[in-house]
Amino acid sequence: MFRPQAMSKIELAVPERDVVPVTEALADSGLFHPALAGRLGGERASRQAEDWHERAVAFAALERRILAVMEALGVDEGPPPAETPHLVEPETAQMDIERLEREARAPVQELEEGQRRLTQLQRYLSQLKPIAGLEVDLDTLRSLRYTFALPGTMPIANLERFQTSLELIPSALVTLRREDHLATVVLFGTQRDADILSRAARSAYLNPLELPETYRGTPAEAITALESGIERTRQYVAECRSSIDYLRQAHVQRLRHLLWRVRASRTLVETIARYDRLRYTYLAAGWVPASQVPTLKQKIEQVSDKVLLEVSMPRRQEDGHIPVALGNPPIVRAFQGLVTNYGYPRYGEMDPTPVLALTFSLVFGIMFGDVGHGLVLALLGLALVSRKVRALRGLSGMGAVVIACGITAMIFGFLYGSVFGFEEVLKPLWIRPIEDVMDILLTTVAIGIGLLSLGMVCNIVNAALARRWGHLVFDHNGLAGLIFYWSLIGLAASAFMGDLPISPIPLAALAAVSGLAVTFAELLEHLVEGRRPLVEGGLGTYLMQALFELFETIIGLLSNTLSYVRMGAFAVAHGALSMVVFIMAESVSPAHGVGYWIVLMLGNLLVIGFEGLIVGIQTLRLEYYEFFSKFFSGGGVRYRPLTLIPRGEE
């Protein structure tokens, strides 16, 4: 539970003739995460490899062609088939596709051509309509001698800027019409400024009216000619569409089947192309959860008895490449999302999900301790998990988190003696935060110290798992850091509290020794782990850097510790907010009438919603910022088993 699922490395030697069924079985199992190629030796640049690559390229091209036909005919991909299709030969698929393309090509081209023509004619029409009333022959406008006139269309968004740019040039910009995002305009000026005006118009994206010279006479006459042309083109486009509809109905199933088959074949051959090769054998490697190895073996044996399968434990140097499958029990799985939102753990690292599940709930409970409020949260969590409320279905994954937070809030509610803000109903099992402010603040600092120490212990565990002994001992979050932290706490405690069972002298000695170890952590780590050079850059720079790092470590430890004071502060604030609700309720209805209870109910809802949210954020912040930064960096590779067709996301 505390580590990602153990993975086994699977190496397969597959006879050439079985490579396709074996790869299909690997994909069908949904267990095999392929490793990067080139790790098993063998001939990578062989003739077979080129064949598979060529087939992959061919399938990719075929897939594009099918999609093009589907798009042209208006057919969507449809859902993936229930059963994974088998490999198809590219030549076979190509014959099918060519036939479909032949049938679709002519009507599609005719439709495109018709639509283009229609758009063009409609554009001419929209440019001409604003000047429909002009009793001027279009040929006259085409041949002005002293006046510069530029009719055209431009984006409405550019109009104002264009006018600004023309402020210093004698000109007039007349807007004739605004439609959608375009305006039909005419720019007037003198021929002397024609060049400046043309450049300005071009930069404002004024596209000049370019009515073909075949349209003559007045604008009204040209419009009549255009309208009849548009009508004819519309009829033509409608005819093209009906023949395309017929084709779509005839081929929809065939196209979808072909698409998924080609797509699965492409993934299959791409996977095989990445295998290493001997003369007549393919070498495949990948990762499988160790517990699932027998299942995978069985699947392979069903399709070939000639496969040599070697299972090995991952080697340390492969840690960065080993995929991570988090295997948490359902009760903590909901917290996995909060971890992966930060990053995936690396294979060698511990999975922080169970620790997060405990600490997140604990920190939340401390800040939000109230039996009633916790109960409401727990019920809300149950509603989320049950998925019965349609509007909340998207949040169902967070249901268990909310339940856990609700339960810890209830536990702390009993400890604080608070039910929906009523402080007299329950006797506190521990303290009332609002009355014992210093106690709760000091306690939460102590809990913070515990959590930070836990973070450092996790870092030590991670270092031990990775066998990084130097890091384990000397890192500022390692053993030296932990001793340094605790000796500083001891010194601070003896300074403020006086009589401690331990004298401050050994504590100071411990702080000095561990502080030195932390200061020169890099050098000592390199020395222990046999890494060279011991110091990167010059010695002077290193010393300065080391001292600054020590300073940063001390500041970091102090600020991280004090950050946890907020737990106590929020516990106090929770009580204070409830008190405010009671004061407001009293002022509305001193006789405790209906108004009193309404205000109380609304106030409690506000506290649950508003403060619950803030406490949630603060908890997340403490986890991500103070706690995770001690031991968890993320950067792991997610486990993604091979599949030939998509089967839904994790």
Partner 1 sequence: MSMRDVSAYSLVHATVRALYSTMLAPETWNTLVQAQDFDALLNVLSKTVYSPYLQIERQELTPRRAVYQIRWHLADVCEKLIRLTPEPGHQLLLQLWRTYEVDNLKATLRGIETGASWDQVRHLLYPMTRYIALTTADIEKMVRSGDMERAIELTRHTPYYETLVHALERYRAERNLFPLEVALDMNYRRGVWQSVNQLTDTDHEQALRVVGTVLDVNNLLWAIRYRVYHHLSEQEVINYTLPFGYQVRDRDIRAIAAGADIAQVVRGVYPDVEVSPLISGAEEGESGLAALELSLQRHVVKMCHAAFIGYPFHVGIPAAYLLLNEHEIRDLTVLIEAKSSHLLMEMFASMLEIQPVGAGLPTTPPQTDQR
List of residues contacting partner 1 (CB under 8 A) = 36-38, 64, 67-68, 153-155, 157-158, 160-162, 164-166, 168-169, 180-182, 196, 199-200, 202-205, 207, 320-321, 341-344, 536-537, 541, 545, 609-610, 613-614, 616-617, 620-621, 624-625, 628-629, 634-637
Cβ-based nearer residue to partner 1, 54 or 301: 54
Cβ-based nearer residue to partner 1, 37 or 535: 37
Instruction: Give me the least distance between CB of 626 and partner 1, in Å please.
Output: 11
Only one residue has tokens 């903590």, namely: 332
Q: How is residue 463 written in tokens?
A: 């270092």
Handedness of CA 594, 600, 605, 610 (dihedral sign): positive
Instruction: Give me the least distance between CB of 523 and partner 1, in Å please.
Output: 15
In the three-class reduction of DSSP (H, G, I as helix; E, B as strand; rest coil), residue 155 is classed as strand
Instruction: Give me the least distance between CB of 640 and partner 1, in Å please.
Output: 12
CA distance 561 to 181: 58
Cβ-based nearer residue to partner 1, 15 or 208: 208
CA distance 377 to 251: 54
Phi, psi of 155 (to 5 degrees): -65, 135
Cβ-based nearer residue to partner 1, 120 or 494: 120
As to burial, measured by CB atoms within 10 angstroms (0-12 exposed, 13-18 middle, 19+ buried), residue 467 is exposed
Cβ-based nearer residue to partner 1, 303 or 569: 569
Q: From the centroid of its chain, how far is CA 408?
A: 30
Cβ-based nearer residue to partner 1, 327 or 634: 634
CA distance 114 to 244: 13
Q: What is the DSSP string of 51-119?
A: HHHHHHHHHHHHHHHHHHHHHHHT----SPPSSPPPP--HHHHHHHHHHHHHHHHHHHHHHHHHHHHHH
Cβ-based nearer residue to partner 1, 339 or 411: 339
Only one residue has tokens 């011991």, namely: 534
Instruction: Give me the least distance between CB of 343 and partner 1, in Å please.
Output: 8
Instruction: Give me the least distance between CB of 85 and partner 1, in Å please.
Output: 20
Cβ-based nearer residue to partner 1, 57 or 588: 57
Work out the number of other CB atoms within 10 angstroms of the CB of residue 108. 20
Q: How is residue 404 written in tokens?
A: 């856990």
Cβ-based nearer residue to partner 1, 64 or 232: 64
Q: How many residues does the chain have?
A: 650
In the three-class reduction of DSSP (H, G, I as helix; E, B as strand; rest coil), residue 305 is classed as coil
Cβ-based nearer residue to partner 1, 542 or 582: 542
CA distance 599 to 596: 5
Cβ-based nearer residue to partner 1, 196 or 454: 196
**Cβ contacts of 413 within 8 Å, gap of 6 or more:** 369, 370, 371, 372, 373, 374, 419, 426
Cβ-based nearer residue to partner 1, 431 or 535: 535
CA distance 258 to 95: 11
Sequence-separated contacts (24+) of 552-561 with Cβ below 8 Å:
553/476, 553/481, 553/484, 553/518, 554/488, 557/452, 557/484, 557/485, 557/488, 560/448, 560/452, 560/626, 561/445, 561/448, 561/449, 561/452
Cβ-based nearer residue to partner 1, 323 or 568: 323
CA distance 473 to 480: 6
Q: What is the DSSP string of 184-209?
A: EEEEEEEGGGHHHHHHHHHHTT-EE-
For residue 151, whether the previous peptide bond is cis, meaning omega lies within 30 degrees of 0, is no
CA distance 369 to 409: 4
What one-letter code names the amino acid at 130?
P
Instruction: Give me the least distance between CB of 320 and partner 1, in Å please.
Output: 7
CA distance 353 to 335: 6
Instruction: Give me the least distance between CB of 633 and partner 1, in Å please.
Output: 8
Instruction: Give me the least distance between CB of 467 and partner 1, in Å please.
Output: 17
Instruction: Give me the least distance between CB of 323 and partner 1, in Å please.
Output: 10
CA distance 492 to 486: 10
Instruction: Give me the least distance between CB of 449 and partner 1, in Å please.
Output: 21
Where helices occur in 290-370 by DSSP H, the ranges are 293-303, 330-342, 353-367
Instruction: Give me the least distance between CB of 635 and partner 1, in Å please.
Output: 5
Instruction: Give me the least distance between CB of 263 and partner 1, in Å please.
Output: 12
Instruction: Give me the least distance between CB of 74 and partner 1, in Å please.
Output: 13
Instruction: Give me the least distance between CB of 429 and partner 1, in Å please.
Output: 31
Cβ-based nearer residue to partner 1, 136 or 613: 613
Instruction: Give me the least distance between CB of 469 and partner 1, in Å please.
Output: 19
Cβ-based nearer residue to partner 1, 112 or 301: 112
